Amino acid sequence: MADKKVHLIVKRQEGPDSAPYWEEFEVPHTPGMNVISALMETRLNPVTRDGKRVRPVTWDSGCLEEVCGACSMLINGRPRQSCSALVDNLEQPIRLEPFSKFPVLRDLMVDRSPMFEALKRIKAWVPVDGTYAMGPAEKIDPAQQQEMYKYSECMTCGCCLEACPQYNDSSAFVGASAIGQAYLFNMNPTGKTLKDDRLDEMMGPGGVVDCGNAQNCVRVCPKGIPLTDAIAAIGGQVTLHAVKRLLRQ
């Protein structure tokens, strides 16, 4: 149908310290369109549904194929990537909001830098000696590679944190994505040399013990990463680690 429309309700906010408000837009429907292309349409003629000319909507986006993690937002209340949210699969009007667990920069764009800080905290890297030619790495069992691959697809999009009841202003909880990365690097033949450091972090405040087992993270992860398996595994590693530390004392 040529005159089919898409109805968007967008939560807007001028800047970090302003109060939010809502605006509604209506754009032409095209086959296969996603939330991003609906938003792109609004920029071509930024006029609200009731005819008011407004400034264009601000949102974060990058690859538009769900590998960069940039375009996270709440879509009809659910945390997800707006590129892979196809309009035809959504109930209209489509309600778009910024994530609530991170400071809003403007409109739908938030500051997720705490997620990258968390990766520093848990030393999410393999401590290689250097970048010179030092020969091949250790062989890796294909089954283990498959297990590691699942976690290495984490794109730091923040959906798991937005959905987590324990991740909020009053808690230091590091959240599922970082725990998944701790699990990944503890599995790597060289990465595991930092395992004790990571488990120290995971034992402390904001570590894995803060998980309330709501399991929302695994339900919203756009990449289907088995985050609760990682949480359980790291929980087990932390227990062993604690016992070892006790014995050492």
Partner 1 sequence: MSGRVIIVGGGLAGLAATIKVAEAGVPVDLFSVVPVKRSHSVCAQGGINAAKNMKGEGDHPDIHVTDTLFGGEYLADQPLVRRMCDEAPNIIDLLDRMGVTFNRTPEGFLDFRRFGGTLHNRTAFAGATTGQQLMYALDEQVRRYEAASLVEKYEYWEFLSAVKDGEGRCRGIAAMNIWDREVKVFRANAVCICTGGPGMVFGKSTNSVINTGAAASRVWQQGVWYANGEFIQVHPTSIPGADKLRLISESVRGEGGRVWVPRNPADKRDPVEIPDSDRDYFLETKYPKYGNLVPRDVATREIFSVCVDENRGINGENMVYLDITPARSGKDGEVLERKLGGVFEIYRKFAGDDPIQRPMRIFPGMHYSMGGLWVSPVDGGGQVRQKTNVPGLFSAGEVEFQYLGANRLGANSLLSCIFGGFTAGPRMVEWIASHPEEADESVYSDELKRQNAENDKVLGMNSGGENAFALHRELGQAMTAQCTVVRRNEGLRQLMDKLGELEERWSDIDVNDASTPVNQSFAFTRALFDMIQLAKAMAKGALLRDECRGAHYKPDFDLEKPEKEQLGDHRMTDAYKGFVRELEAKHGVEYDAKFKEAPAGTAPAAPEFQEYMRNWVEQQKRWSKTTLATWKPNAEPDIEFRDVVMTCEPPKPRIYK
* Site residues (vs partner 1, CB under 8 A): 14-16, 30, 32-34, 36-37, 40, 43-46, 53, 55-56, 58, 61-70, 83-84, 86, 105-107, 109, 112-113, 116, 119-120, 123-128, 130-131, 133-137, 139-142, 145-146, 148-149, 152-153, 155-156, 185, 188, 190-191
Could you tell me the smallest distance in angstroms from the CB atom of residue 94 to partner 1? Answer: 15
Question: What does the DSSP 8-state code read for residue 144?
Answer: H
Question: What is the nearest approach in angstroms of partner 1 to the Cβ of residue 204?
Answer: 17
| C-alpha–C-alpha distance, residues 218 and 177, integer Å | 10
User: Rounded distance, CA 125 to CA 127, Å?
Assistant: 6
C-alpha separations of 170 from 202, 210, 211, 212, 238 in Å: 18, 12, 14, 14, 23
212/210 Cα distance (integer angstroms): 6
**Min separation Cβ 82 and partner 1, Å:** 10
How far is the C-alpha of 96 from the C-alpha of 107, rounded, in Å? 10
Report the distance separating Cα 149 and Cα 156, nearest Å.
Answer: 15
Structure tokens at 14: 């001028």
Query: By CB neighbour count within 10 A (0-12 exposed, 13-18 middle, 19+ buried), where does 16 fall?
Result: exposed
Choose between 21 and 116: whose C-beta lies nearer to partner 1: 116
Q: Which secondary structure element, helix H or strand E, spans residue 78, and what is its range?
A: strand 78-81
Q: Residue 174 Cβ, how far from partner 1 at the closest point, in Å? A: 15
Q: Minimum CB separation from partner 1 for residue 194, in Å?
A: 10
CB of 179 to partner 1, least distance (A): 16
- Residue 138 CA, chain-centre distance (Å), reads 31
